[in-house]
Amino acid sequence: MTDRIEIRDIPERRLIGVPHKGPYDQISAAFARLDEILDRDTLRARAGAMVALFHDSPDEVPPAELRSFAAVEMDRGTATPEGAEEVILPAGPAAVLAHHGSYTELPAAYDRLFGEWLPGSGRRPAGQPYELYHNTPDEVAADRLVTDIHLPLEP
């Protein structure tokens, strides 16, 4: 299936999460730490979608030095729990690639977004990309995963 790319107006997002340093495909360890914090502070019911921020280009930074952030959306009325950090993603336009399938196929989706779509779009990035997960491998088979890759754009 060809993943669809569209420009959307994205609302501000408040994230609560933990940083990860190392290969992006190992960010699950940071999500496990975040799960422990959410369970410890009984915040799971208040947590929204899972989100992963990616700060570096894997084409430019060695895998051991890659920086990312494993997070969940959280309302402003919830205090940031001990051991977690808050990140606010600003509102604005974003290119959103709706990827259907395994996480192992995400690098090809990024190649399409950055290597094909962006150069021909006439748009410029306004921040780091992030992934919003509609489901997880605990919930569905790998071929049924839905992940939105967001690329914030200049207005």
Q: All domains of the chain, ordered by start, with CATH?
A: 4-152 (3.20.80.10)
Retrieve residue 43's tokens: 């915040």
With cut-offs at 50, 70 and 90, classify the pLDDT of residue 4: confident
Residue 150 to residue 31: CA distance in whole angstroms: 19
Q: Which pLDDT tens digit goes with each residue over 77-117?
A: 999 999 999 999 999 999 999 999 999 999 999 999 999 99
pTM for the model:
0.92
| Residue with the two structure tokens 């290119």 | 95
Strand ranges (E), 35-91: 50-54, 67-73, 85-89
Cα–chain center distance at 111:
16
- Look at the chain and count its residues: 155
Retrieve residue 30's tokens: 């940071």
Q: Which pLDDT tens digit goes with each residue over 16-60?
A: 999 999 999 999 999 999 999 999 999 999 999 999 999 999 989
| Number of alpha carbons in the 13 Å side-chain half-sphere of residue 70 | 21
